[in-house]
Amino acid sequence: MNDSHYCPHTPQEISEMLSVIGVASVEELFSPIPAELRAKTFNIPPGLSEFETFDRMKSIAAESSGDMLAFVGGGYYDHIIPAAIDHLSGRAEFYTAYTPYQPECSQGTLQALFEYQTAICRLTGMAVSNASLYDGGTACAEAAMMALRVTGRNKIIIDGCVNPFSRQVLKTYLYNLDVEVVEIAPLDGLLNRDELAGLLDESVAAVLVQNPNFFGCVDEFSALSQQIHAVQALLIASVYPISLGLLKSPGEMGVDITVGDGQSLGNPLSFGGPSFGFIAAQKAYIRNMPGRIIGETVDKQGRRGFVLTLQAREQHIKRHKATSNICSNQGLCALRGLIFLSSVGRQGLVDLARLNRDKAEYAKARLVEIPGVTVLQSAATFNEFTIFLPKPADGVVKELLKKDILAGVPLGQYYQCSENCLVVTVTEKRSKKEIDRLVRELEVAICN
């Protein structure tokens, strides 16, 4: 009966164990399940060897195209991943451990997550960070719910320039709650500040913005945060961590809660996951934060150590009164994020951000040389920008897919009257030669 090396018992051992238990067969152990409830069918195919399994997985991977030239973002970015990350996060002591409930034998995970929280705080200019959330979208949702708790109000205003997927996730989280969500349509790829001013009053819990936003535009929210604070509401900003090598940090703009997706920090694209979400805030809001938080302390001998702290906020203690239902987060992906930021380092992140912008600006300059192509000029951009094509972007993108190029994200399905708009992303991984190829192929597709 025993053909699986993942179930190690020999028949002899099984019969010894059964006699200790005092039953005649393994089947007898399932006697608490009433006979009439037992499964009548079970149609999983017969098992495969390890070799055959890997072979099958290789053929599945081969049925998709993994070597496309990526000029798309949409929240996920094709960045370099230093080699050390796979090796270090691939240490079984990290990846086969679980949530560090027993701190004495989990100091590796706990110290790493404390260092992660520190990195996120320093990057965003915030005072406190948790130990990670699921992804960028759920981080937006958790931040909104945090603002509802902090203010006791029930209205959230979302800038329509925020990633449309994140906006959908946020609305799903609030689906069955008595919360009003108001979306402001973008104006020239930026927050419509006049419309926001008209909506801001003391019923508003928070305003959610994104920087750079879905159009690629870089904004500055210092004045906005003052306006929002004037009605005692909170400003939530979703940010792209690589851009913070150059761009003004949320802390410098008076943001109250900062969130984002950590995929760009050392996590592979992997068809959309796993990555991690980050959330960081001003110190006053720490007790309203969701999820795990690691804190520094000492043992009886005064040695420094780290523990899960403020657990009275969490579901395993507070049950239905918890600040969030989150239990498992994205610990290993957050560890990868920390190793990424430590590897690239202080000046490295500045250089990396600059490299992204240089490449994008080169691509932008080349693309507008194509007859009929113009660029959205309302704001400066980082490594993504919006261009207007002389024909619908959908067809052009389809043509370039045939050439193994992901030419950009057409905006038509996300915004009204933007069928000709394309958001192009250029990371440090794209060479001049590859950018030139994009320009050439786009020109061909546009002229045909």
Q: Which own/partner pairs from 106-109 qualify as long-range (CB within 8 Å, at least 24 positions apart)?
A: 107/305, 107/306, 109/331, 109/335
Instruction: Give yes or no for residue 247 binding other proteins (CB under 8 A).
Output: yes
C-beta of 198 vs 390, nearer to other proteins? 390
394, amino acid identity: D
DSSP β-bridge partners for residue 128: 281
For the bound state, the minimum distance from the C-beta of residue 119 to other proteins, rounded and expressed in Å, comes to 6
C-beta of 19 vs 203, nearer to other proteins? 19
Distance between CA 436 and CA 414 in Å, rounded? 28
For the bound state, the minimum distance from the C-beta of residue 198 to other proteins, rounded and expressed in Å, comes to 25
Residues numbered 81 to 120 that lie near other proteins (CB under 8 A) are 82, 84, 87-88, 90-109, 111-115, 117-120
Instruction: Give yes or no for residue 448 binding other proteins (CB under 8 A).
Output: no
Instruction: Give yes or no for residue 416 binding other proteins (CB under 8 A).
Output: no
In this structure, what DSSP letter does residue 248 have? P
Instruction: Give yes or no for residue 182 binding other proteins (CB under 8 A).
Output: no
Q: Is 374 exposed, middle or buried (0-12, 13-18, 19+ CB in 10 A)?
A: middle
For the bound state, the minimum distance from the C-beta of residue 355 to other proteins, rounded and expressed in Å, comes to 6
Residues numbered 23 to 52 that lie near other proteins (CB under 8 A) are 23, 26, 29-34, 36-50
Residues numbered 250 to 269 that lie near other proteins (CB under 8 A) are 252, 261, 268-269
Among 146, 206, 218, 438, indicate the residue that binds other proteins (CB under 8 A): 218
For the bound state, the minimum distance from the C-beta of residue 387 to other proteins, rounded and expressed in Å, comes to 16
Instruction: Give yes or no for residue 53 binding other proteins (CB under 8 A).
Output: yes
C-beta of 186 vs 262, nearer to other proteins? 262
Among 206, 332, 373, 446, indicate the residue that binds other proteins (CB under 8 A): 332
Give the x-and-dash track for 127-156 against other proteins (CB under 8 A). xxx-xx-xxxxx------x-----------
Instruction: Give yes or no for residue 168 binding other proteins (CB under 8 A).
Output: yes
Exposed e or buried b per residue across 117-136, where buried means at least 16 C-beta atoms within 10 angstroms of its C-beta: bebbbbbbbbebbbbbbbbb
Residue with tokens 């520190």: 118
Instruction: Give yes or no for residue 333 binding other proteins (CB under 8 A).
Output: yes
Distance between CA 296 and CA 298 in Å, rounded? 7
For the bound state, the minimum distance from the C-beta of residue 52 to other proteins, rounded and expressed in Å, comes to 8
Total residues contacting other proteins (rule CB under 8 A)? Answer: 215
Distance between CA 189 and CA 220 in Å, rounded? 14
Number of other CB atoms surrounding residue 78 within 10 Å:
22
C-beta of 97 vs 199, nearer to other proteins? 97
Instruction: Give yes or no for residue 248 binding other proteins (CB under 8 A).
Output: yes
C-beta of 105 vs 198, nearer to other proteins? 105
For the bound state, the minimum distance from the C-beta of residue 256 to other proteins, rounded and expressed in Å, comes to 17
Specify whether the CB–CB gap between 174 and 144 falls below 8 A.
Answer: yes
Q: Is 233 exposed, middle or buried (0-12, 13-18, 19+ CB in 10 A)?
A: buried
Give the x-and-dash track for 288-327 against other proteins (CB under 8 A). ----xxxxxxxxxx-xxxxx-xx-x-xxxxxxxxx-xxxx
For the bound state, the minimum distance from the C-beta of residue 19 to other proteins, rounded and expressed in Å, comes to 10
Q: Omega into 268 within 30° of 0, i.e. cis?
A: no
Residue with tokens 């706990």: 110
Q: Starting at the edge strand that comes first in sequence, how are the strands of the sheet with 421-425 ordered?
A: 374-375, 384-388, 421-425, 409-410
